[in-house]
Amino acid sequence: MSLKFECPHCEARLSAEPELYRKEISCPDCSKDFMVPTPEDLVGEAGKVKFLCPFCNRKLSAGPEQFGTEMPCPFTDCEKPLMVPRPEWKPVPTTRLR
Ligand SMILES: [Zn+2]
Ligand SMILES: [Zn+2]
């Protein structure tokens, strides 16, 4: 199973196979180097998508079970119905591995 995580520099959504864990790679989006995390590094965050509420502009996050569904904004002064985006994670190209 591939690990889903965000580039620490540009927040591009990436996915990596287990053989890349703890390896230094270049981000396919911003070309900066960083270390691929392991699932233990991402407890509670793995597979989550972060997005902005289009009504109140606050940062939200949702788990895989909410992708593509409608949910109310969790902030009580907003609570507007919003669509949770379906994220796409780019596979990290192993050719960039050094
Ligand atoms: Zn990046
Ligand atoms: Zn909101």
Instruction: Tell me the ligand closest to 74's alpha carbon.
Output: 2
Domain boundaries, the chain: 3-92
Cα 9 to ligand 1 centre (Å): 5
Q: Are 67 and 84 in contact (CB under 8 A)?
A: yes
Q: The whole model's pTM is what?
A: 0.60
Contact 46, 4 (CB under 8 A): yes
Q: Which ligand is nearest to the CA of 54?
A: 2
Q: In whole numbers, what is the pLDDT of the chain averaged over residues?
A: 87
| CB environment 33-50: b (16+ within 10 A), e (fewer) | eeebbeeeeeeeeebbbe
Ligand nearest to the backbone CA of 53 = 2
The yes-or-no verdict on residue 46 having pLDDT over 70 is no
